[in-house]
Amino acid sequence: MPCTRVKFTKNDLPPGSHHNFDALVVPMWIDFISTLNNMWDISDFADDMQNIWDLALPNIKYTVSKSKDPVYKILMQRAYDYCSDFRERVKIVIAKYIEDQGWTSDEIQQVVTYIVPEQIPWVNEKGQKVFVNPPIYPYMWKECRGDEKDPDANQCILDMFALYLKQVHCLLTKYRCEQMPKGALSIATVVVERMWKMWMMGKFVQPTKASQQ
């Protein structure tokens, strides 16, 4: 007999939890995963979901479980939607930025070549051909000095990071994570870098391979 996937909705949540689930539990969960190194690998954090539930809804006793549990499933879906929003928003952010600059196709190519240059072939000490990043690669810089600034990348990354701020701005301090949202900043940076690469021909070209999208 084939296994059927159960799709839960808010109607499956415990009575009396609906308001605080949206107002507290979901943004607290988004705040938590935004502190992780890998926001896509979040399946093993049921205990943290439990901690969030207990803090947000102390008067409604509930046990979060990975097995056919509506709270777990709904929070996982909200997390995937949140991560996917970065991928969708970045298309708009980069296109709008380019439009505001009024760049020609040639100018776009020059900007992209500087921001995300092609890797350089290199033969290592073992005689193996490898590809390395060139000396000037803005997205690999640990710090910027002097004229080594990239407003084109920085502005777009900040616009993407706003997705995180939008999710958590209403949370009181006692409901916020103490850790920094490095995961949100990382994914904001990565999607901007990859979207710039899709403009390397002077216009937007959607990759055909899913792994490159």
pLDDT value of position 3: 47
**Strand partners for 122:** 130
Encode pLDDT of 139-190 as tens digits. 655 554 545 555 666 889 999 999 999 999 999 999 999 999 999 999 999 9
Encode pLDDT of 82-100 as tens digits. 999 999 999 999 999 999 9
- Where are the extended beta strands (E) located within 9-116? none
CA angle 22, 23, 27 (to 5 degrees): 80
How far apart (Å, rounded) are the C-alpha atoms in residues 74 and 96?
33
- Where are the extended beta strands (E) located within the chain? 120-123, 129-132
Q: At what angle do helices 26-33 and 70-101 cross, to 10 degrees?
A: 70
| Over residues 1-17, mean pLDDT | 78
pLDDT value of position 131: 81
pLDDT of 1 strictly over 50: no
Q: pTM (2 decimals)?
A: 0.83
Residue 195 C-beta-side C-alpha neighbours within 13 Å = 24
pLDDT value of position 120: 79
pLDDT value of position 75: 97
pLDDT of 125 strictly over 80: yes
Within 10 angstroms of residue 185's Cβ, the number of other Cβ atoms is 16
